[in-house]
Amino acid sequence: MLPKRKTPSRDAPGAAHPEASYADALRQGLEQAMDLSDRVVVVGQLVDYAPGVFGSTTGLVERFGTERVRDFPVSESAMTALGIGAAVAGMRPVLVHHRLDFMLYSIDAIVNWLSLWRFKSNGASSAPVTIRAIVGRGWGQGPQHSKSLHAWFAHVPGLKVAMPATAFDAKGLLLESIFGEDPVIMIEHRSLFGLKDRVPEFPYRVRFGQAAVRRAGADLTLVGAGVMVPFALRVAAQLAEHRVEAEVIDLRTISPLDLETVLSSVEKTGRLAVLDPTWGSFGMAAEVISRVAERRRGSLRADPVRIAHPDSHTPMSSALEAVYYPEQSSVVERLRALVSGR
């Protein structure tokens, strides 16, 4: 039997910290936030039942009670408004949506009220509401359980948008959102919930607007967010077998967007592909590419590429899902062609 591990210190290297899943990292973040401040409340459908929200709220109600871990009627619109009014009165609400698609009932509350609360009070009042929105994929989630509308929210001033790709970032960005002063939409991809990495047990922060270089490479820059980060890493690993070294940048948050990290990578590689887990048109990938073009057009040695879903709603059938979502080996082929100039 292994000796009992000591709790690593705060400045211990990453590998010294225990492993946790993305779902458990979110749960830790919520639990620690509620411990740190009695202003933190978690509101959403079924948040007080044993399975929690895919494990991310499990155990909270036993510790904090149904007052602060609040099941809510299927009234997403009023739920978001409630979050705003509570935040304006000093609370730190976290709203949870099992699927982003249901959150669309609350677009008025988000766009007409939440996003401009700080603006229209000239900074005298703020509404730090954290909205967790989970996006599904696969197993026939179909057109009403799989939409990732991160670009919609990033388009609106006054909202921050986080798309954590790792368990470490999920916890750090969640805590940063809860205790930050701005409203945050946190897009969580359901298929990431089982991923594990090193997660410190204490409450820490991951700041907005600081991208991570997940893999270094000189031939090509791959920019992704959320679920496209592990995909990009797998693509990069396969490209390496063909002696193409891709640099993988995880944006972590798309609003604000860390352009500088992308620019310095593109200056080095001269090639850019942006992987966006949604439809291609008018989206995050287009935004990244146009910002690079505005600032470093001369650095680009090849036409930039968007890797995204077709401009179509998501099909249910597994046969169609297989051709709808970007497929690894065809993406690899496309990027090899980009690098070789074919």
Partner 1 sequence: MGTLTHEAILKAGLYESLSIADGEAGTAKSLHRFMLRLRQCEEALAREYHPADQMRCPVHFCVGQEAVPAALSLLLRDSDYLYSHHRSHGYYLAKHAPMPALFAELYGKQTGANAGLAGSQDISFPSRHFFSGAILAGATAISLGSAFAFQLRGTDQVAVAGFGESATDEGIFWETVNYAALAKLPLVLVCENNNYSVFSPQLKRQSLDNISERVRTFGITSAAIFGNDAMLVHRTLRDAIARARGGEGPTFVEAYTYRWSGHYGPASDDLVGYRAPEELEAWKRNCPIKLIEKALRAKSLLADAENERLLREISMEIEECFRFAKSSPFPPTPDWTALNLSSATPEADRLLADIDLGDFDAHQESTQAKGY
Residues catalogued as catalytic: 145
Binding mask 176-195 for partner 1 (x = CB under 8 A): x--xxxx--------xx-xx
Query: b or e along 308-317 (b: 16 or more beta carbons within 10 Å of the residue's beta carbon)?
Result: bbeeeebbee
Closer to partner 1 by CB, 196 or 302: give it: 196
Q: How far apart are CA 99 and CA 334, in angstroms?
A: 32
User: Between residue 192 and residue 211, which ones bind partner 1 under the rule CB under 8 A?
Assistant: 192, 194-198, 200, 202-206, 210
Amino acid of residue 210: Q
Q: What is the DSSP string of 62-119?
A: HHHHHHHEEE--S-HHHHHHHHHHHHHTT-EEEEEESSHHHHGGGHIIIIIIITTHHH
User: Between residue 227 and residue 286, which ones bind partner 1 under the rule CB under 8 A?
Assistant: 227, 229-231, 233-234, 237, 250, 256
Q: How far apart are CA 222 and CA 239, in angstroms?
A: 11
Tell me the closest approach of the beta carbon of residue 196 to partner 1, in angstroms.
5
Q: How far apart are CA 316 and CA 314, in angstroms?
A: 7
User: Between residue 132 and residue 171, which ones bind partner 1 under the rule CB under 8 A?
Assistant: 138, 157-158, 160, 165-166, 168
Closer to partner 1 by CB, 317 or 328: give it: 328
Q: How far apart are CA 138 and CA 145, in angstroms?
A: 10
Q: Which of 7, 121, 281, 290 binds partner 1 (CB under 8 A)?
A: 121
User: Between residue 3 and residue 22, which ones bind partner 1 under the rule CB under 8 A?
Assistant: 10-11, 13-15, 19
Tell me the closest approach of the beta carbon of residue 45 to partner 1, in angstroms.
13
Q: How far apart are CA 202 and CA 10, in angstroms?
A: 8
Closer to partner 1 by CB, 37 or 317: give it: 37
Span from 51-59, 225-233, 294-302, 333-341 in contact with partner 1 (CB under 8 A): 225-233
Q: Are 332 and 307 in contact (CB under 8 A)?
A: no
Q: Which of 119, 260, 281, 282 binds partner 1 (CB under 8 A)?
A: 119
Tell me the closest approach of the beta carbon of residue 301 to partner 1, in angstroms.
27
Query: b or e along 19-42 (b: 16 or more beta carbons within 10 Å of the residue's beta carbon)?
Result: ebbbbbbbbbbbbbbbeeeebbbb
Span from 144-152, 173-181, 265-273, 311-319 in contact with partner 1 (CB under 8 A): 173-181
Closer to partner 1 by CB, 182 or 219: give it: 182
Give burial (CB, 10 Å; 0-12/13-18/19+) of 14.
Answer: exposed
Closer to partner 1 by CB, 151 or 248: give it: 248
Q: How far apart are CA 97 and CA 331, in angstroms?
A: 31
Closer to partner 1 by CB, 212 or 274: give it: 212
Number of CB atoms found within 10 A of residue 13's CB? 8
Q: Which of 1, 2, 124, 319 binds partner 1 (CB under 8 A)?
A: 124
Distance of CA 122 to the CA centre of its chain: 29
Q: What angle do CA 235, 237, 239 make, to 5 degrees?
A: 70
For 103, half-sphere exposure in the C-beta direction (CA atoms, 13 angstrom radius) is 29
Which tokens sit at 310?
Answer: 């077709």
Tell me the closest approach of the beta carbon of residue 130 to partner 1, in angstroms.
12
Count of residues that interact with partner 1, criterion CB under 8 A: 83
Tell me the closest approach of the beta carbon of residue 237 to partner 1, in angstroms.
7
Tell me the closest approach of the beta carbon of residue 91 to partner 1, in angstroms.
5
User: Between residue 35 and residue 94, which ones bind partner 1 under the rule CB under 8 A?
Assistant: 36-37, 41, 67-68, 72-73, 75, 77-78, 81-93
Closer to partner 1 by CB, 50 or 78: give it: 78
